[in-house]
Amino acid sequence: MYEEYEALRLCDYEKYNQQDAALFMGVSRPTLTRICMSAREKIAMAMVEGRKIIIEGGKVELDNEWMYCSSCGCYFVRNEGTETILGCALCGSPNIKPFSSEEMTLQVEGGTRHLYCGRGKCRGRRRQRCGGNEDIF
């Protein structure tokens, strides 16, 4: 399930505490705990019993240009072969511009680098990943 993947990513990989991860996902903390327990149980079963873990999903596009809508704050991917974009994929506004990954991932404040989610769901919150001159990626 996508929810299990997202819960493990936030709690175990990104090191959010459960309260913040639950807020980010829009669920209660006890619900997040149940989702994490279910995911960990499945991973443990696969490891102990030698089962496959298959992750599959819909169409994924990674190399296309990202766009940003100034009106609604939506980030979306420009489809391959599209010469011009008439408007935002969400609200239809013509106030769109190309968006670089550097703008989304790093903001330098007082020598400390922070990672922003860039998807509009963090409401301005950020999470410190590293300090000094280290690169995140």
Distance CA 24, CA 27 (A): 8
66 forms beta bridges with: 77, 99
Instruction: Give the per-residue pLDDT at 88.
Output: 84
Distance CA 8, CA 5 (A): 5
Q: Is residue 25's pLDDT more than 70?
A: yes
Distance CA 50, CA 36 (A): 21
DSSP-derived secondary structure for 57-114: -S----SSPEEEETTT--EEEPPTT-----S-TTT--S-EEEE-HHHHHEEEETTEEE
Amino acid (1-letter code) at residue 103: E
CB 72 within 8 A of CB 103: no
pTM for this model (two decimals): 0.43
In this predicted structure, which of 6-10, 76-80, 91-95 has the lowest mean pLDDT?
Answer: 76-80
Amino acid (1-letter code) at residue 120: G
CB 43 within 8 A of CB 33: no
Q: Is residue 120's pLDDT more than 70?
A: no
Distance CA 18, CA 29 (A): 6
Write the pLDDT tens digit of every residue in 29-56. Answer: 999 999 999 999 999 999 999 998 887 7
